[in-house]
Structure 1
Amino acid sequence: MIFAIFIAAAIVVIFAAIQLNKYGDVISQKSTWSGAMVGTLLIGGATSLPELTTSLTAVYIDNADIAVGNMLGSNVFNVLILMIFDFIYRKQKVFNTVDQSTHVPIAYTGLIMTALLAVSLLWQNTPDLFNVGMEMYLLVAIYIIVMRKAGEPEEEAEEPTSSLTLNQGVTRFIIAALIVFAAGSALAIYGDLIAKETGMNASFVGSFLIAASTSLPELVTVLAAFRIMNYSLAIGSILGSNLFNLQLLVVTDFFYRKDAILNVAAQSNVTVALLGFVMIALTIFALQRISVKRVFTYAIPSSVTVILYFVASYIMF
């Protein structure tokens, strides 16, 4: 029964995430926001909703490792998704075709935030205010500053191609987001039950198994964006989702009233944080490097990222 509900929830999430991408593209066409901004702020936030439910559930059952590991692991899995598609579509040289002005600052922000979390996890005795780690307040401050600057509209809007109006696109986007929230939450909860029956440790379950389940909306969103060749939307949705996940970690820490949550989380979460740092650094390299002619050379960052992920998974398992 648990497996049946899990599969049913996965099917619903796939359908809803496709609609999320579709109506996000309508908003991009009919508003002054670019595809990168729609991906970063709207789709990135909406597809992160299952992670929030999973981590809050972990807080409720007093499992800090699943709560923290889910957020960090989801970010790692998100980058893996992007790099796998980049490798599959390597002949298109995706990272060389998008505008860097939006994506690079967001990527660097994710890099800094992940480094901050890694240091806090290593420290394990960071100062707190109202049982919320000081690093969490820094995450919020950084996010607000960067998003205010990145959210400025572009001077030229994309030529509309959809028959839907902006209001229709926004309304249907919200409906799809609510469906993702409900079905994605069920996916996370029943994924957790399945994982517990296997007897695996909490850090691995949170960082890899549950994180992969809650990242299903991002997977479908990126797939849909690549199929319509809206690469900026795909990259923006992943980078934006990662930043939003870290803000959800702040919310998780707020509800974990015993102590600052990173002071309680196991040291094994440091491995995931460091893996995320390296994978984001490789993404930044792929975005900023000079265009290369050889497909083999272009695919090196994505290939290294995929290998690193599976090596780290094996080590933690």
Structure 2
Amino acid sequence: MLIIALFLAAAVAAYFVSSRLAMYGDAVSEKTKTTSAFMGIIIGAAISLPELTASVTAIAIDSPDIAIGNLLGSNLFNLLALAVLDIVFRRHQVMGQTDIGSVLYIYLVIIMTLVVLAGLTLTLPTHLFHIGYNSVVLVLMYFGGVKWINNKTEKRVKRRNRKNEKYNEYSYNKVIIRFALFAFAIMLVGSVLTVTADKIASITGLGSSFVGSFLVGASTSLPDAVSVITALKLRNYSMGVSSLLGSNAFNIMLLSFTDAIYMKNNLFAHASPSNIVTSVASIIVVLIILYSITRKKQRSTFLYIMPPSLIVVVYVTATLIVYQMKGM
């Protein structure tokens, strides 16, 4: 019971600390007058620190399934959260009010997930030292894809006012110090999450893949869900959807970093088959979201909620399948 209590406490702490970390990441960008694209990278990296720390800790305790399952499971949970919020905000028909950036991020996420699937299912004979070539491809694909998407969307968006109005009460030094402190705090929280999750997997027999994909993944995804809720409440639908899809692409890229620090050969070769289920489910869900965005607008409420309801079914089905495969 103590281990479970520690895990739950760490999950709650991850939510609160990550939210503050994202806020101070925004403040750092404002104080340093960086571009909007760079601001997105800072906040995205800040919000993704729980996933990164959890996966790094998983490598440290030699649990590659939790390392991979955390990142892939986090992505799937993000998409579930988006589907649930789409149902909650159904009267606004959120998906019909997104822009080209959301569609482009969907393409990027699909292609990157297919590269991950190739690494999980194919035996690739050559590596760059101990790092798989698919990891190298993921890094190049992420940065190239984000640059391409920013170039495409910048033409459609006016440059926003860069005046320092939101964080006038904070000095530059105070913002930097608090950002660093919360970054350190989230690394501690992420480590506790992973170590306790590994213990839960051993004690309960649930399996590392299941725990990584659905317990750790869901816990580390809470900040992403909160950021989307905030955007939707402000009726900035496109930003909410695009930021979550962009976060998913960033999480997939983090698999490359995890592979680089896993010294026992290629990380993907040590992953269990259940991670394939999570990857396939993610692709199916993203395709459903693509359909929701591109279909004819102004549907009846009943017809509108069919795709997000299907996403919930896919998530539950994937959860059950991974649970059944826990011994594999």
TM-score (norm 2): 0.83
**Comparing 229-238 and 66-75, the one that deviates more:** 229-238
SS state of the match for residue 87, structure 1?
helix
Letter in 1 for 2:258: T
Matching of residue 44 in structure 1 with residue 44 in structure 2: yes
Other-structure match for 1:194: 200
Other-structure match for 1:79: 79
1:121–1:4 CA distance, 2 compared to 1 (3 A): closer
Flag the structure with more relative contact order, 1 or 2, with Cα contacts below 8 A and sequence separation at least 6. 1
Output one character per residue of 1:30-56: Cα deviation in whole Å (capped at 9) or x when no partner: 97866xx58853333222211222222
Instruction: Provide the C-alpha distance between the structure 1 equivalents of 2:171 and 2:263, rounded to a whole number of angstroms.
Output: 40
Letter in 2 for 1:19: R
1:233–1:65 CA distance, 2 compared to 1 (3 A): same
Aligned length: 314
1:234–1:178 CA distance, 2 compared to 1 (3 A): farther
**Comparing 187-196 and 121-130, the one that deviates more:** 187-196
Superposition pairs for residues 206-217 of structure 1, below 5 Å? 206-217=212-223
Shift, 1:298, TM fit: 1.6
Question: Structure 1: any 5+ residue segments left out of the alignment?
Answer: none
Identity, in percent, stands at: 36
Other-structure match for 1:249: 255
Shift, 1:126, TM fit: 4.9
Matching of residue 291 in structure 1 with residue 322 in structure 2: no
Letter in 1 for 2:7: F
TM-score (norm 1): 0.86
1:287–1:56 CA distance, 2 compared to 1 (3 A): same
1:217–1:126 CA distance, 2 compared to 1 (3 A): farther
Other-structure match for 2:142: 143
Other-structure match for 2:54: 54
Output one character per residue of 1:160-203: Cα deviation in whole Å (capped at 9) or x when no partner: 79542498697466655554444344333323333332111222
Matching of residue 275 in structure 1 with residue 278 in structure 2: no
Other-structure match for 1:11: 12
1:302–1:203 CA distance, 2 compared to 1 (3 A): same
SS state of the match for residue 7, structure 1?
helix
Instruction: Provide the C-alpha distance between the structure 1 equivalents of 2:76 and 2:200, rounded to a whole number of angstroms.
Output: 21
Other-structure match for 1:115: 114
Matching of residue 156 in structure 1 with residue 129 in structure 2: no
Matching of residue 134 in structure 1 with residue 137 in structure 2: no
Matching of residue 238 in structure 1 with residue 239 in structure 2: no
Shift, 1:144, TM fit: 1.6
1:287–1:45 CA distance, 2 compared to 1 (3 A): farther
Other-structure match for 2:89: 89
SS state of the match for residue 258, structure 1?
coil
Instruction: Provide the C-alpha distance between the structure 1 equivalents of 2:79 and 2:40, rounded to a whole number of angstroms.
Output: 14
Shift, 1:296, TM fit: 1.6
Instruction: Provide the C-alpha distance between the structure 2 equivalents of 1:139 and 1:87, rounded to a whole number of angstroms.
Output: 32
1:133–1:211 CA distance, 2 compared to 1 (3 A): same
Letter in 2 for 1:14: Y
Q: Is the 8 A contact 1:127 1:134 kept in 2?
A: yes
Instruction: Provide the C-alpha distance between the structure 1 equivalents of 2:183 and 2:293, rounded to a whole number of angstroms.
Output: 29
Instruction: Provide the C-alpha distance between the structure 2 equivalents of 1:33 and 1:235, rounded to a whole number of angstroms.
Output: 20
Shift, 1:214, TM fit: 1.7
Aligned-residue CA RMSD in angstroms? 2.9
Instruction: Provide the C-alpha distance between the structure 1 equivalents of 2:231 and 2:21, rounded to a whole number of angstroms.
Output: 11
SS state of the match for residue 214, structure 2?
helix
Instruction: Provide the C-alpha distance between the structure 2 equivalents of 1:29 and 1:259, rounded to a whole number of angstroms.
Output: 42
Q: Is the 8 A contact 2:57 2:191 kept in 1?
A: no
Letter in 2 for 1:311: T
Instruction: Provide the C-alpha distance between the structure 2 equivalents of 1:270 and 1:10, rounded to a whole number of angstroms.
Output: 25
Output one character per residue of 1:251-285: Cα deviation in whole Å (capped at 9) or x when no partner: 11111122211122122221111111111111222
Letter in 1 for 2:304: Y
1:186–1:63 CA distance, 2 compared to 1 (3 A): closer
SS state of the match for residue 252, structure 2?
helix
Q: Is the 8 A contact 1:53 1:185 kept in 2?
A: yes
**Comparing 259-268 and 2-11, the one that deviates more:** 2-11
Shift, 1:208, TM fit: 1.5
